[in-house]
Every structure is written in structure tokens, then in C-alpha cells.
Structure 1
């Protein structure tokens, strides 16, 4: 199915003037991805991600569990209906978020994330640059933990010029744990670097953030991307968190041109993890959050 493309300059100009954060694209073309910008090709890392495992880990089920996983963790198989039930609602996150149609959230892509990482910024050039390129590509493609191996559901929310995307999915445990360990290295390996797109340079900063100690393993980072958009400087700030629960995980990405949405990410992580644990244990998630009562 062919995507209808939109020029990057027009998309991001609209983001600045009319509050539209993300460039909307349609279905991915077979064998690659459309960037949402006319004439822009996918980066090498993005092209590889369409067919490769995100970590290079074996695809078979692992034996045992990663060190440090608490005993008694939910081990049920996540079904498609279970993944849908485990999704958060607008009542589960702070502030004034509005849920959007799932089809709209599936097609959110931000043009400021497009670009080729400058290898010269790194001491361990090829290795670190590849990890940073993978980060930017996976943020654009909404597959930070790699491709799910089973059930998968997502939900999107908007608030002024910010957006929040929440995903629940089943993975191979080895692969998703490797992805979390990869995330843990990003603030050190990708602290600050430069991306180039159509001759324009963008500065990217990656820092570590904190989220509640929930689930079996978790990681969180903040990504800030600054660069010119039609001659005007713009900064996109995204808070990203992922939590593993058994062979499953939740991923939260929130932010925009307005900046900090960390509190909403913390709320989504705390309540979302509990919802997923309840579903895996065969329980009905709580109808409304208690932390805001």
C-alpha cells in the first residue's frame, strides 16, 4: 500500500504555527519505510530495522529468566484482547490528555527525528553512532524495543502541542531484555551528537530519567532534538520509558514542542504496569486510578 507523503518543511511549519506536533503518514511501503517527507530516504539503520532483530539475539524462547527478576512475576500469555485491556485511558495519566482514534495514533511520525547521525561525534565511532542511529530510527518508527513477537496494542493521547503514545506488546524475553540494556547505555554513548537531514544539522541530547521501580526491569531516557525548521529554531523533547513484565512490555513516549511531559510518563508507567500485571494474572484492571483521588 502506498503512502501519501508530506513535505517535511510544511509539516514542521504547521507544528509551530498550528500546534500539530507529528507528521502523519499512511501505510509503510513493502521493503522499507516512507519518512513522511518528500524525497527523503530512510537512513541505513532504519532500512535494516525492517528485517533484522533489534538486538541480534536468538529468536527462540530463552531458558530461565534474567537475573534480578522478582519471584512470582506474572507469566501468563498475553492475548490480543488482553493487550487491549491492559492499555491505559486518559484517566490514568495526569493533566488534560484526550484520547485519539487508534488509527490516528498508529500513523504518528515526527520529521525532526529523521536524519543521519554524524559519526565524527563519537570516540567509538561506528559502534556508538550505530546505537544512536538506531535510537532515532526506532523513535520515528515507534518500535523502541523491536518488533513484537505476539500480541500488540497501542493508544494515543493529545494535549495542546504534546502527544503521548502508549504500547503494550509481547516479545521474546531475551530480545526485550537486551533492548532495555541497550537503552541503559544510551545516555553515555549518545549524550550529545549531531544529525544531518537535507543539509540541515540538528543537535540531539540524550539523558537518563527516573521512573517508578515497577515490573521486572525498566529504563527511561529523555531525548531533545533542536534544529532549524523553515528558518526558525525548534526543539522537540521526548520522555521515553519501557517496562518489562515477564515476556511482555509497555512503552511510553510523550512530549512535543512544549517540552516536559515526564509526570505524565511516570503516571502511565505506574498505572500501566499494574494494569498489565492484572491482565496477565487473569484479573480485571481497576476501573479508575487511586493515586489522583
Structure 2
């Protein structure tokens, strides 16, 4: 059974940020007002796990319809500090979808070639075509967050980037791409535990990078930068959603709920196809099947007689 729309809407509304500011304000308190350990809209862990399975089935159907109809697309932008769970969210939310209709792009530090172009240059080619769901594991917002946190660009340049991002995303939406922007909000303590796990558990060693600790040493700066970015670029038409991410089961349930809500709103349907001479096609195929059966039976009877 599909999860009640009221529950889906409740998650959407409780996590969205719409208190927009006209400039990048490092005094914004957006993230301070969200407890990473909280679970807004969730009744219990057990209930959420059951609902996640129901949502997974529905998401698979909606994604197939979107892919078949091929008239619009979805862009899910996932942002979050190291260990917030971007990879895990992608893996668990979309493991019931058809891989042919879902793409994932990650954006690390730009290469020398990418730096020689406009900061949005590397993003354009990764945007979804009609019928696709594309997930950005980090995104063009890195080009706003990092210089904002480290104060490597003047305010005027940062504001230009913010305006460029708004125009870029507006153009995507005008061409049929629905955008869902999600920030996975993890606590300082929980991040420490997950980083420690990457050190202590051998099979997780590949996930660990010394750069994670360098970024962690600038935790306050990144919290302020994300708060400023979210409050500057969020509005009622294209809000950011801040998802408390200390509990993985809640994080997955919340993100999946929002993806399903967006697709329900888009209401994709299988395209209507008119087949020419359906009765004739059916007779032809039945004839082929009948002929194959007779051929198979003939081979079997010869084998028996021998």
C-alpha cells in the first residue's frame, strides 16, 4: 500500500527551508535550528523501516513510468559534509530502481581543465535528459561552499556565483527538469564516530582520507558557509531540505519520501501506444510459437525412438 500523502507532505514541509536571505550571510542560523539527531515526522524506527520498503516499490514504478514517458526529468542534489551518508543514501534509496533510468555524478575538486572554464562548465553535461533521474553526489554548490568557508573569494564574486546558480537551475526547470536539493545534516560527534570506524574497520580503510580531517578542523566555518548558502538560495519554489542524518534509517526514509512525493506530483504515466493490426500480430506470433512447439515435439519423438 502506498504511504499516505499526508505523511509524505509532513516530511516535506518539516524539512524544507524557505527563510530566504538576499545575500550570503555567515550569521545565518539555519543549521543551528535543526538537530542532526532528531527524526521529524517519524513515528518509530520500526515503522519507518516498513514504510521504506513500501516506498521503494512505489519509487521503482514511478521511475519506470518517468523513463518510459521521457517527457521530463529529475535532478537530486545531495550535499553534506564528509561521512554524512551521501553514498549510502544513493545506494539504499535507489536500489529498487532500473539502473538504465538513473545516473549518478560526483564532483570532487575541479581539475586543471575544469578550472580553465566557468565553474558550471563541468556540470552542464551531467544534467539529466528527459526520462532520467540524475543524482549529484556533491554539486555546483561546492564552488560556492568551499570559497565561502575558506574566504578565498570576495563577497561580490560569491554573490555572482549564487546568481549564476539560480539562473542555471531556473533554466533546467524551464526545460522540464524538477530539482530536489537535500543537505544531509550530521553532528560533530557522529562524524567523529564514523571517521573512527573508517580507521578501525579494515574494509572501510578505502573510504578514509586525511583531507576529511582537514575539513573537520574547519567545522564551524563550513557550518556557517552551508547555513549562508542554504538561506541565500532557498525559496518556496525551489526549497532546500535539511535532513537530520545521524540516524541512517531516518535519513534514508526521509529522502526516499521526498523523492516519491516529487514523482507523485509529476505524475508520470506509461505512454499510450497504438499497435497496427493487433489481431494480425497476435495470429502471426501464435503461429510462430505453434510451429516452434511442433518442431520441438518432433525432435523429442525422434530422440525417444532412437
- TM-score for the superposition, normalised by structure 1: 0.23
Structure number, greater radius of gyration = 2
Q: Which has the higher helix share?
A: 2
Higher relative contact order (CA 8 A, sep 6+): 2
| TM-score normalised per structure 2 | 0.23
